[in-house]
A and B are shown apart, each in its own frame.
Chain A
Amino acid sequence: MKRFRDKRTGILSFMDLKSHKGIAVYWLMFAILALMALICFLPPLWVIISSFKSPEELMKVPASLLPEKFDFNKVIDTWNKLGYLRYYWNTAVLAAGSVFFAVMVNGLAGYVLSCLKPKGSHLVLSLIIWTMLMPNTLSMVPLFKNMVDLPLIHISLINTFWPMWICAGAGAFNTLLFKNSFDSIPESLIEAAKLDGCSNLRIFTRIVLPLSIPIIMVVCIFTVNGAWGDFLLPYLVLTEPDKFTVMVHVFTAKTVMALDVQLLSLVFAIMPPIVLFFVFQRYIIAGATMGGVKE
């Protein structure tokens, strides 16, 4: 038990772990965590496995553990029949635009608030901080109204992805994340670029952004994941079925389709985020704690 001897962190010290009682407490805690890991993994796994079952098999009492056969043709058939490529494509376009808005609009805002600080910008900063603290219970109808008839220019954004993109541009949390990150860029670097005649925008794209790759990665990953799972606004503004995103389709498919098709739809909806998580788990777990630094 070398690991116990080397344990230098936490409440149980290597001293405690020499006694039987300490070791028992440790393995009890380990068992609790193992159980929690099971609870975290099993429900999605069950949906993935069950989606292979036939409608008759899904009706069986009690529910069978594994399907009679893993028929991948059925998966491909359902994919084609429901036209999932379309929904994946729509959601990908939505996500790509959201990433662009999150990085460019919020990134620029963070840059102005952190490095340029024009007169009066502190007012914008405190407004953004207040926005983040405010509950968001009053915006449903007015936001929808703004998207049907954009103020001042009076165009309708219904059945376009612009409403979600604009929302991505209004990310208070991302703006503050960028601002805090840019605060650590040495001022001398920016001054030097200015002396060389670099414009503000060029300083942003050539100096500030390249120096902030890790934070941009985190914002990108969380924006893609958020856009993939975004439901309410897409559901309200995308009314034509060929504009549906994956999540809107899954919700509207509920109750009107056979149970096995519903389950497969759900699997199609959750697979991309799961793959994203497996690939970028380091960034995602590191980024998750940035949520704790909300002020």
Chain B
Amino acid sequence: MNRKIAAALKRDLTSWILLGPAVVCFAVVLWQPLISGLTLSFFETKGYDAVRFVGFKNYESIVSNSEFAAALKNTFSYTSWSLVIGYFVPLITAIILNEMVHLKAFFKFACYFPTIIPSMATALLWYFMFNPGKNGVLNSLLGFAGLPASQWLQNQKLVIPLIVLTMTWRSFGGTMLIYLASLQSINQDIYEAASIDGAGFLAKIRNITLPHIAGTAGLMLIMQIIGVFQIFQEPMAMTGGGPNNASLSIMLSSYYYAFRYFDAGKSMAAGAIAFAILAILTIAYRLASARIGRGGGIA
């Protein structure tokens, strides 16, 4: 009996030793920072160390700051623009691509191509495309069409949609492939039966295709909202948050608090506000999808 317990202990011990490196990595990179970040947001900080507990003072101070108010508003603006510009592009592309009998593999390759370009490089690449001078490539194209040159990223009204366009360009291919996998799992007999019953192209999309991919579409919606809400590198590289804070996001503002103003407490308060909004959203989505009974996703 004793030997059995010893053997089980030994077995578990070696297992835990093998799991150890991963637990250490996760703890250092994700788990400890999460707790420590939340704690820091309630402290007055010096350097990156907590000095004095101040309750919600960091939160009060950033919420009353006009720069952060702009960041909060812009972040919602990024998210809604990304739904307008980016949400349907991968869905529609997948439906169209699934119909192709010519060059299907090539189109798949082409649509995924931008995704492999690093996000920082993509931001810089489009920064050059959006050169506001008359020598810029897009302004030259406008010139050929007889249109006046645009200020592009320096136009306060255009800057967020343009950054969203950049992100959509880079990431639609990956989402499109996920939709495509879901589309390919539709039983072909259903389409045939519908054809025999005289259903047209649009009727088939509405009654067969869309219901089938609704679960995936819901999951992609929440993933996109969570992803775009944390936008940060693109405005950092393309505009630095300008012009006049018109493209400043919550996470960029959090970054500036930490590494430009060296105020870690306020930086973490900004991060905590973003965290709370996203956590509420995620939980709401889970509850909603559990009620509908799809469980969300194709897994």
The tally of CB-CB contacts under 8 A between chains A and B is 323
Is B11 on the interface with A (CB-CB < 8 A)? Answer: yes
Contact of A12 among B99, B111, B118, B128 (CB under 8 A): B99
Task: Classify chain B's interface size.
Answer: 35 or more
Q: Say whether B96 contacts A111, CB under 8 Å.
A: no
User: Interface stretch among A72-80, A134-142, A184-192?
Assistant: A134-142
Interfacial residues of chain A within 75-104, with CB under 8 A of chain B in the complex: 101, 104
**Residue of chain A at shortest CB distance from B274:** A137
Contact of B101 among A4, A44, A58 (CB under 8 A): A4
Q: Say whether A62 contacts B134, CB under 8 Å.
A: yes
A201 to chain B, nearest CB (A): 7
Is B287 on the interface with A (CB-CB < 8 A)? Answer: no
Q: Say whether A116 contacts B18, CB under 8 Å.
A: yes
Interface centre among B121, B125, B250 (most CB of A within 10 A): B121
Contact of A46 with B209 at beta-carbon distance under 8 Å, contacts A13-B192, A142-B33, A170-B29 already known: no
- Which residues of the other chain, B, contact A59 by a CB distance below 8 angstroms? 135
Q: Say whether A270 contacts B121, CB under 8 Å.
A: yes
Is B174 on the interface with A (CB-CB < 8 A)? Answer: yes
- Which residues of the other chain, B, contact A231 by a CB distance below 8 angstroms? 118-120, 233
Q: Say whether B15 contacts A121, CB under 8 Å.
A: yes
Contact of A36 among B19, B26, B93, B208 (CB under 8 A): B93
Is A33 on the interface with B (CB-CB < 8 A)? Answer: yes
Q: For the complex, what is the distance from the CA of A65 to the CA of B192, rounded to whole Å?
A: 49
Is B255 on the interface with A (CB-CB < 8 A)? Answer: yes
Q: Say whether A247 contacts B118, CB under 8 Å.
A: yes
- Which residues of the other chain, B, contact A170 by a CB distance below 8 angstroms? 22, 25-26, 28-30
- Which residues of the other chain, A, contact B241 by a CB distance below 8 angstroms? none
Is A126 on the interface with B (CB-CB < 8 A)? Answer: no
Q: Say whether B32 contacts A151, CB under 8 Å.
A: yes
- Which residues of the other chain, B, contact A213 by a CB distance below 8 angstroms? none
Contact of A250 among B40, B49, B121 (CB under 8 A): B121
Contact of A37 with B106 at beta-carbon distance under 8 Å, contacts A105-B22, A166-B25, A291-B174 already known: yes
User: Interface stretch among B54-62, B80-88, B264-272?
Assistant: B264-272
Encode contact with A along B248-262: 1 for CB under 8 Å, 0 otherwise. 001100110011000
Q: Say whether A247 contacts B34, CB under 8 Å.
A: no
Q: Say whether B135 contacts A141, CB under 8 Å.
A: no
Is A8 on the interface with B (CB-CB < 8 A)? Answer: yes
Is A167 on the interface with B (CB-CB < 8 A)? Answer: yes
Q: For the complex, what is the distance from the CA of A201 to the CA of B11, rounded to whole Å?
A: 12
Consensus secondary structure, chain A interface: helix
Is A263 on the interface with B (CB-CB < 8 A)? Answer: yes
**Residue of chain B at shortest CB distance from A121:** B19
Q: Say whether A142 contacts B36, CB under 8 Å.
A: yes
Is B16 on the interface with A (CB-CB < 8 A)? Answer: yes
A229 to chain B, nearest CB (A): 3
Q: Say whether B30 contacts A11, CB under 8 Å.
A: no
**Residue of chain B at shortest CB distance from A59:** B135
Contact of B37 among A16, A118, A139, A294 (CB under 8 A): A139
Encode contact with A along B122-135: 1 for CB under 8 Å, 0 otherwise. 00111111000111
Is B150 on the interface with A (CB-CB < 8 A)? Answer: no
Q: Say whether B48 contacts A11, CB under 8 Å.
A: no
Which residues of chain B have a CB within 8 Å of any CB of chain A? Answer: 11-12, 14-16, 18-19, 21-26, 28-34, 36-38, 40-41, 48-49, 93, 95-103, 106-121, 124-129, 133-137, 139-140, 143-144, 169, 173-174, 177-178, 180-184, 188, 191-192, 195, 201, 204-205, 208-209, 216, 219, 223, 226, 229-230, 232-233, 237, 250-251, 254-255, 258-259, 264, 267-268, 271-272, 274-275, 278-279, 282, 296-299
Which residues of chain A have a CB within 8 Å of any CB of chain B? Answer: 3-4, 6-13, 15-16, 22, 25-26, 29-30, 32-33, 36-37, 39-41, 43-44, 46-47, 50, 58-63, 101, 104-106, 108-109, 111-113, 116-119, 121, 124, 127-128, 131, 133-146, 148, 150-151, 166-167, 169-170, 172, 175, 199-201, 204, 225, 228-232, 236, 247, 250-251, 254, 262-263, 266, 269-270, 273-274, 276-277, 281, 284-285, 288-289, 291-295
Ordered nearest first, which 4 A-B pairs have the shortest CB separation? A229-B118, A138-B37, A169-B25, A109-B22
Q: What are 12 sample pairs from A and B whose C-beta atoms fall under 8 A apart?
A: A13-B195, A33-B100, A44-B117, A112-B15, A139-B30, A141-B37, A141-B258, A141-B268, A148-B48, A169-B29, A273-B118, A276-B116
Known A-B contacts: A33-B96, A204-B18, A229-B119. Give 9 more (CB < 8 A): A33-B103, A36-B110, A62-B139, A63-B135, A63-B136, A112-B15, A139-B37, A200-B11, A254-B237
